[in-house]
């Protein structure tokens, strides 16, 4: 039983089902996110994959990112071959916002090139050709380009996992889980409808913020902080010349293949959106990046979602809490990027335990 319907839950369900396990996924939005519901953080993600430009070059977080980036390449090919293509934009351009940030990105470039990774420095002249001028910063030194990072469409990825999983026998249950109960062998999962509880050999808890409340009665304290992400879809009067998504001062600018732009960032703690916060960031980005059209672009759509940030523990939470109970939560800003590695970790825990038996 996989509890949750975000991209981590769907990727885990799809991978387990494809390896011959019988899998049920249970969540209120099991059949797809409600556009008006901000509870599913994956529905408000922009799908920017920052793996090779991650600030550290070793440790758990670095290895999870590299594993996920490789798996995404394999999985996209596999799903596309089955009729479920996931749109992907290769490449990622990071622009510095001050002199100190330029030094950091230059050092990161040297470290990654020493590892043989395809990162390069784009000079100011090249940025100007693309319509990016950095006119109001302390430095105009160019930007760091990562060829193998990029951006994929989160909703398309979730839909591909769901549809291909159903084709292989995945069961979807649209219900909110209200309790977990240990059994001599396995678990009982109780839904809010009051119907008979469902038994499962394994429970994979990938329910984001809801995970904390389900674990507390079992004696597992995993405090999670809600962090709200907001996104805009903007209309553009002319085609964008950037060949890939741009990241500047925590703001993600993602050109859309058919025209337009996605703009968003993880902005604020809590669960109530302040619609005024993205406006000033859009104005600032348009002024600093030399994109006057960005400040006046019409808003086609606005959406938001809540992400779970662990308190007192590093993100994400990948834990084998007790026999038959796995926790995959607290991915914060990196749920889309880390979904494959998280799913692979869950499979290893389950199949490793079965082998030991």
pLDDT level of residue 258 (50, 70, 90 thresholds): confident
Same domain, 147 and 87: yes
* Mean of the per-residue pLDDT values of the chain: 90
**Structure tokens that stand for 253 in this block:** 């600018």
Whichever domain contains 287, its CATH number is 3.30.9.10
β-pairing, 198-200 vs 186-191, is: antiparallel
Instruction: Note whether 300 and 318 are same-domain residues.
Output: no
pLDDT of residue 282: 77
**61 inside domain:** no
Same domain, yes or no: 202 and 232: no
Cα distance between residue 121 and residue 144, in whole Å: 5
Q: Give the three-state DSSP class for 172.
A: strand
Please, which residues bridge with residue 204 across strands? 2, 326
Token digits of residue 94: 């990071």
Residue 14 maps to a domain? yes
In a shared domain, residues 334 and 296:
no
Domain span holding position 169 = 2-47+155-223+311-356
Q: Are 98 and 256 in contact (CB under 8 A)?
A: no
Do 231 and 305 reside in the same domain of the chain?
A: yes
Q: How far apart are CA 290 and CA 285, in angstroms?
A: 8
* Residues 6 or more apart whose Cβ sits within 8 Å of residue 55: 104, 108
Q: Is the pLDDT of residue 158 over 90?
A: yes
Q: What is the pLDDT of residues 75-112, one digit of tens each?
A: 999 999 999 999 999 999 999 988 899 999 999 999 99
* pLDDT for residue 143: 93
- How many residues in the chain? 357
- How many of the other CB atoms lie within 10 Å of CB of 280? 9
Strand extents, DSSP E, the chain: 2-3, 24-27, 48-49, 88-95, 119-122, 143-152, 171-174, 177-183, 186-191, 198-200, 203-205, 224-234, 246-248, 251-255, 261-269, 299-310, 317-322, 325-329
DSSP, collapsed to helix, strand or coil, labels residue 281 as helix
pTM (two decimals): 0.95
Give yes or no: residues 133 and 145 share one domain.
yes
pLDDT tens across 39-60, in order? 567 877 899 999 999 998 899 9
Tally of structural domains, the chain: 2
One domain, residues 144 and 254 = yes
């Amino acid at each position: 039983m996989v509890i949750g319907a975000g991209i981590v839950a769907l990727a885990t369900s799809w991978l387990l089902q494809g390896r011959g396990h019988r899998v049920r996924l249970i969540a209120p939005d099991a059949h797809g996110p409600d556009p008006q519901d901000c509870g599913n953080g994956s529905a408000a993600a922009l799908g920017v994959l920052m793996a090779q430009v991650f600030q550290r070059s070793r440790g758990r977080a670095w290895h999870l990112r590299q594993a996920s980036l490789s798996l995404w390449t394999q999985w996209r090919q596999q799903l596309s071959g089955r009729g479920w293509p996931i749109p992907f934009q290769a490449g990622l351009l990071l622009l510095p916002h001050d002199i100190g940030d330029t030094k950091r990105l230059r050092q990161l470039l040297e470290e990654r090139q020493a590892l043989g990774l395809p990162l390069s420095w784009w000079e100011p002249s090249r940025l100007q050709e693309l319509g990016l001028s950095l006119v109001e910063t302390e430095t105009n030194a160019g930007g760091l380009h990562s060829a193998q990072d990029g951006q994929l469409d989160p909703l398309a990825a979730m839909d591909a996992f769901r549809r291909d999983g159903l084709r292989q026998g995945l069961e979807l249950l649209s219900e909110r889980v209200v309790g977990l109960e240990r059994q001599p062998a396995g678990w009982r999962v109780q839904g809010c409808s009051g119907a008979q509880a469902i038994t499962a050999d394994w429970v994979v808890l990938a329910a984001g913020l809801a995970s904390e409340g389900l674990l507390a009665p079992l004696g597992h304290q995993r405090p999670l902080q809600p962090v709200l992400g907001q996104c805009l879809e903007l209309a553009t009067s002319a085609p964008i010349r950037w060949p890939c998504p741009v990241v500047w001062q925590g703001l993600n600018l993602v050109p859309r293949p058919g025209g337009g732009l996605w703009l968003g960032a993880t902005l604020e703690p809590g669960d109530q959106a302040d619609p005024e916060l993205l406006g000033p960031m859009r104005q600032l980005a348009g002024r600093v990046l030399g994109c006057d059209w960005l400040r006046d672009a019409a808003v086609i759509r606005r959406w938001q979602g809540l992400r779970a940030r662990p308190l007192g523990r590093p993100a994400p939470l990948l834990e084998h809490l007790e026999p038959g109970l796995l926790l995959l939560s607290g991915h914060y800003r990196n749920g889309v990027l880390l979904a494959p590695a998280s799913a692979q970790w869950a499979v290893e825990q389950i199949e490793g335990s079965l082998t030991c038996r």
